[in-house]
Amino acid sequence: MRSGNLGYPRIGRDREWKKALEAFWAGKLEEEAFHAELKAIRLGNLKTQQEQGIEVIPVGDFSYYDQILDTSAMFGLIPSRFGYEGGKVGLSTYYAVARGTREAAASSMTKWFNTNYHYIVPELESTLKPVLTSNRLLEAYREAKQELGIEGRPVLIGLYTFVKLSRGYAPNELESWIDRLLPLYVQVLQELAAEGVQEVQIDEPILSTTLAQEELAIVARIYETLAKEAPGVKLFLQTYFESVDHYEAVVALPVHGIGLDFVHDGGRNLASIKKHGFPADKVLGVGLIDGRGIWKADLHSKLELLNTISQSVASDRIIVQPSNSLLHVPVSAKGELKLDAVLRDALAFADEKLAEIALITKAGNNGIEAVAVELEAASNSRKALEQSPSRARKEVHERIADLASQPSDRTASVEARRRVQQDKWQLPLFPTTTIGSFPQTPEVRRARLKWRKGEWSEEQYETFIKDEIKTWIDIQTELGLDVFVHGEFERNDMVEFFGEKLAGFAFTSNGWVQSYGSRCVKPPIIYGDVEFTAPMTVAETVYAQSLTSKPVKGMLTGPITILNWSFVRDDKSREEVAYQIALALREEIEALEAAGIGMIQVDEPALREGLPLKREQWAAYLKWAVLAFRLSTSTVADETQIHTHMCYSEFNDIIESISALNADVISIETSRSHGELVKSFEDFTYDKGIGLGVYDIHSPRLPSVEEMGSMIDRALRVLDPALFWINPDCGLKTRKYEETVASLRNMVEATEIARQKYAR
């Protein structure tokens, strides 16, 4: 029995990776120094795994931005608009695809399966001629071996997963793209084999989704070709995030080993092994440790599961590993000294998970007695948290037990509410607004830091925030927007801000994970029962409203997004935790309404990313997710207008559930997806207010009036002009002052042109 890992966080213990990227982009770090800094981080990551006693160490999982973008670049799949002319893809082109330029829009970005990590979507243009520009896996393997003496296992995104996640080709062209790329995969493997690489990890998480039989035939053809053309290297096929539906077909593939997730599979992978066995000539990667959660494992139950699996698979053919790459968890919990000791002792980040893997492997090889002390300590840590008063809030439990009696829908129809709201607000055709946040300048961040350190008093900080709010209320007035926001200057993060003010949440000092590019987030930890304690957003919103006669939206993060963007306790279902959050948010919404705020936006950008990977499980998830949103928003008066916002998701399959949220107005990202979402409304009549984002806020380029006008025109081919709102894709927190004002000015101008064009 061996210990193994599937991937390690690339950001560095103190986010050195993020800082290096941003310094390079800002021109403060020369390219040679940039490469050197990232190499130091990369080697440090490998050394950590080596020192933890991990025997199978992945190489090539490190990235300069995103592993899918790396695969695109490795095969020269660069969209033509970036002017790429062949050869190894340079950093300027690589980052242009990811971030866009003033001349070319960035490639689309979307969620990696049901995680909060975003990847850059490959664009498979018909004119592209894929070629192996550089074998980055070979480079990674050589570096690990030469610098640290590590015989690493290169990690390659599987061909079927890569093509299925790509865009730009018709459904009937899928196999032709497989055929164009398959020889390049063979070439990569042949070069690795020639170097002496023993085994290659091929990640195919797509196999954990719902696939048709004809798709499995394509997968089989891919692996038959790889096995035949590159016999000199062993193939380790890795699946994760769920169970494998077509188990018998997958384990029959001509590969040396297969990795299965035994954490998030609902017991289905184990059931398949019990029913069908496991091939005696293959290695099984047993995903025992949760690669997405941050809690110490119940090691006794993990060892029991391992023992059960060992009855079907020989011990010398087992690799103990995480359920997926550790990319999705923070690096180390060692520095979290500010947390309550009971909570801190129950945490396991990437480094702690590696220790758990090594411990379980030791027990598997030498018996439980060899690790008895460690097992008892881990068990005591979990028990202490389970017995915490934070998990025994009587009122919360009573409200959940009486959930059926809680209001969960608006009393009036959407049409009746629209009439009342229009009478109240008298909004023009195509109302303009923004999504919520305005630039978090260095001055804003420094002010917050001074306040948190105690260098500024509460009064000093409050004065500063009010000045920022007033500045941007004045800017919105000058720009001519119709519905204002206060700017969210007091907020560090759209989830963390609320978690800090609700009972049941805790926050780390350094629990960062990568969301996209250099954007790292520090997810809250939901460790106890969630409860409202005091108003969270009322003071700033009411102050902003006092400065203008235009409506100012109250801004909240919705229950499902708070859930999906937090690390959630593992002793209750996610459904129940979502209801706890929803009922707490309801009290905040009622407080805003009581304070005179008549428009309230409850953002749910993470609604879709919580979808199970199996389609047959979607209905159950959507039912409770929609209910959670409605529990939080259904007690307001008819004239109170509820908004929501969603971004970077494909909504075509869940448009009915989005409508079922029963929000009065929804805004949805569409600019990076080039208006593809508009197609959803060709077959579905949406009867509520809707704003399809007319420009991408994640790119530094300034969108033209004409460009935004074309987005408006396309949307109005299928949407009722009377229901259409105009707004950016997402919040403007990450943008600079000048580009924010210029972009919004163009947006307002495009709106005025559209009003003249579509006026009745």
Residue ranges of domains in the chain: 419-493+536-758
Distance (Å, rounded) from C-alpha 669 to C-alpha 607? 13
The pLDDT, as a whole number, for residue 672 is: 54
Hey, what's the torsion of the CAs at 692, 696, 698, 700, to 10 degrees? -160
Q: Which residue pairs, CB below 8 angstroms and at least 24 apart, start in 171-176?
A: 173/126, 174/218, 175/218
pLDDT band at 648 (very low <50, low <70, confident <90, very high): low
Average pLDDT of the chain? 94
In the chain, the N- to C-terminal Cα span, in Å, equals 74
Q: Which of 260, 68, 226, 222 is nearest to 155 (CA)?
A: 68
Q: Given a cut of 80, is residue 673 above it in pLDDT?
A: no
Q: Which helix (H) or strand (E) holds 120?
A: strand 118-120
pLDDT band at 650 (very low <50, low <70, confident <90, very high): low
- List binding-site positions: 15-18, 111, 116, 435-437, 488, 519-520, 565, 603, 609, 645, 647, 669, 730
> Which residues on neighbouring strands pair with residue 642, listed in sequence order?
600
Write the DSSP string, 519-532. Answer: EEE---EEEEEEEE
Amino acid at 374: E
Distance (Å, rounded) from C-alpha 147 to C-alpha 143? 6
Q: What is the mean pLDDT of residues 646-667?
A: 83
The pLDDT, as a whole number, for residue 694 is: 83
H, E, C per residue of 37-57: HHHHHHHHHHHHHHHCCCCEC
- List binding-site positions for 5-methyltetrahydropteroyltri-L-glutamate: 15-18, 111, 116, 519-520, 565, 609
User: Are residues 726 and 432 in contact, defined by beta-carbon separation less than 8 angstroms?
Assistant: yes
pLDDT band at 262 (very low <50, low <70, confident <90, very high): very high
Residue located via tokens 């971004």 = 647
What tens digit of pLDDT does each residue of 388-425 get? 999 999 999 999 999 999 999 999 999 999 999 999 99
Q: Given a cut of 80, is residue 683 above it in pLDDT?
A: no
If one counts every other C-beta atom within 10 angstroms of the C-beta of residue 692, the result is 26
pLDDT band at 487 (very low <50, low <70, confident <90, very high): very high
What tens digit of pLDDT does each residue of 95-105 get? 999 999 989 98
The pLDDT, as a whole number, for residue 548 is: 98
Q: What is the mean pLDDT of residues 237-255?
A: 97
The fold of 419-493+536-758 is: TIM Barrel (3.20.20)
Residue located via tokens 């695969």 = 71
What tens digit of pLDDT does each residue of 456-485 get? 999 999 999 999 999 999 999 999 999 999
Q: What is the mean pLDDT of residues 55-66?
A: 98
Q: Which helix (H) or strand (E) holds 381?
A: helix 372-386
Q: Given a cut of 80, is residue 559 above it in pLDDT?
A: yes
H, E, C per residue of 147-200: HHCCCCEEEEECHHHHHHCCECCCHHHHHHHHHHHHHHHHHHHHHHHHHCCCEE
Distance (Å, rounded) from C-alpha 581 to C-alpha 80? 46
Starting from the edge strand earliest in sequence, which strands make up the sheet with 234-238, in order?
A: 2-3, 318-322, 283-289, 257-261, 234-238, 199-203, 153-157, 58-59
Q: What is the mean pLDDT of residues 68-95?
A: 97
Among 610-614, 703-707, 714-718, the minimum mean pLDDT is found in 714-718
Angle at 390 between CA 386 and CA 391, to 5 degrees: 50
Distance (Å, rounded) from C-alpha 386 to C-alpha 550? 49
Which residues belong to the active site?
Answer: 698
The pLDDT, as a whole number, for residue 674 is: 45
- List binding-site positions for Zn(2+): 645, 647, 669, 730
Q: What is the mean pLDDT of residues 361-367?
A: 96
User: Are residues 663 and 686 in contact, defined by beta-carbon separation less than 8 angstroms?
Assistant: no
Q: Given a cut of 70, is residue 678 above it in pLDDT?
A: no
Q: Given a cut of 70, is residue 202 above it in pLDDT?
A: yes
What percentage of the chain reaches a pLDDT higher than 70?
A: 98
